[in-house]
Structure 1
């Protein structure tokens, strides 16, 4: 169980979950990029589904001065259309994993990471107008990218930054949509999940436990650590991993 590979995975999920606790995003993007350089993209996404689902659920429903029921009702009532579009897009996105050569998706993941890193490094954020047509298109595109690459946040945040100035709302609505993306992945990949060996389920249980613990630590560290410095470190890690994933995709297309 505790071989060198599993220890590396545990470290990856610890770092990603700490970032998620500090900033409200990060767990799926960092962990997917790292695992995609070690496994097939589909298997990497399968291993990440449940740890990410639990963290997204916790971030959406817990905290913010409201009860779990109040969080559920409020954000679903006000952002149900965005959530629905994200879910529909995610269902289509996961299908791409089964229909399209994974090399194309790896190149797409690398491109999304490059956009994310460059825009953050330059300190620029693209903000979309909060109109219904933009909401529908953004939700669908974010869902498709999220379902196939787990990089939904890079697109979804463009709309959320234009619809709200409240960081708590942005984090909670984002995690609500990320959660529905995980649900879509479970629906489409259920046969692959059922076929997982016991060793993989034990690993998923370990990663989920580690992620939860790291999330709680990250939330507590928000007031003590510089979020900007931590995110700079993550950008460096993502750059290296993104280059590696992109190279894998290009080699797969050429070969």
Structure 2
């Protein structure tokens, strides 16, 4: 994985969106990077930046770090636990399944998420333990294997509450835990990453932190709905691109 200049605007735009909307960084970066570096390498490249942004979005903001960390962890511990189990399985799939099939899965979940969001459809699930366990586990598998966890997890969170802050906090809590599980499962892969690549990852992480801070401030002034719509169209384009590359990988 060599550094290229186009990575700077990619990570900056993705982190700006994450700061404005509370999510979106992994979907955009993986959608763009998987076609260039391959899915596993792309996930390794964004693992640290994503984890840092998730942590900031989870514990940051009003209420204080300690309150945000403990309140949401205690209240939604079951969702976190089942997402951990799913994440472990999903990350393991990265090591044993042809990446072309995982790219096809990534394309499906990204296109599904973007198109249903653009159409304004809200999938309502029963706010029950069964829904929590099933959706939490499936979201973990998708997140561990493709980094597109939000496309599934949001189904449950939007059914559970209309409070934007709760959705953002709980979502990023689960995303952060997902990154920790990925790091554990992919430990051997991470140990083989050269020092030069780690330098690039750290630099992109710092850039992403700057982006999320700016995005959080812009979110109070910009029409976030219009910005989010633009990003959804970008995701559709990336989803089609990744899907086509997955098809080529299966048939060629």
Q: Does 1:253 align with 2:237?
A: no
Residues 158 and 167, structure 2, Cα contact 8 Å, conserved in 1:
yes
Q: Does 1:118 align with 2:125?
A: no
Q: Distance in 2 between matches of 1:94 and 1:35?
A: 18
Residues 37 and 241, structure 1, Cα contact 8 Å, conserved in 2:
no
Choose which of 162, 170, 174 in structure 2 pairs with 1:173.
170
Instruction: Give 4+ residue runs of structure 1 displaced > 4 Å after superposition.
Output: none
How far 1:165 moved relative to its partner? 2.1
Residues 19 and 214, structure 2, Cα contact 8 Å, conserved in 1:
yes
Q: With structure 2 as the length reference, what TM-score do the two structures score?
A: 0.97
SS at match of 1:37: helix
Deviations 1:97-148 (A, max 9, x none): 1111111100000001110111011111212221001100000000000000
Residues 153 and 174, structure 1, Cα contact 8 Å, conserved in 2:
yes
* RMSD over equivalenced CA pairs, Å: 1.2
Q: Distance in 2 between matches of 1:151 and 1:125?
A: 18
Question: Which residue is equivalent to 2:5?
Answer: 7
Number of residues of Structure 1 aligned to a counterpart in Structure 2: 252
SS at match of 1:7: coil
Deviations 1:36-67 (A, max 9, x none): 0111100000000000000000010011x212
Q: Distance in 2 between matches of 1:8 and 1:28?
A: 16
Residues 103 and 245, structure 2, Cα contact 8 Å, conserved in 1:
yes
**5+ residue gaps in structure 1?**
none
Q: Does 1:58 align with 2:56?
A: yes
**5+ residue gaps in structure 2?**
none
SS at match of 1:38: helix
Q: Distance in 1 between matches of 2:251 and 2:191?
A: 33
Choose which of 189, 202, 208 in structure 1 pairs with 2:199.
202
How far 1:6 moved relative to its partner? 2.5
Q: Distance in 2 between matches of 1:231 and 1:59?
A: 17
Q: Distance in 1 between matches of 2:17 and 2:64?
A: 24
Residues 36 and 44, structure 1, Cα contact 8 Å, conserved in 2:
yes
Residues 115 and 236, structure 2, Cα contact 8 Å, conserved in 1:
no
Residues 41 and 106, structure 1, Cα contact 8 Å, conserved in 2:
yes
Q: Does 1:16 align with 2:14?
A: yes
Residues 6 and 203, structure 1, Cα contact 8 Å, conserved in 2:
no
Q: With structure 1 as the length reference, what TM-score do the two structures score?
A: 0.96
| Deviation larger for 161-170 or 99-108 | 161-170
How far 1:238 moved relative to its partner? 1.2
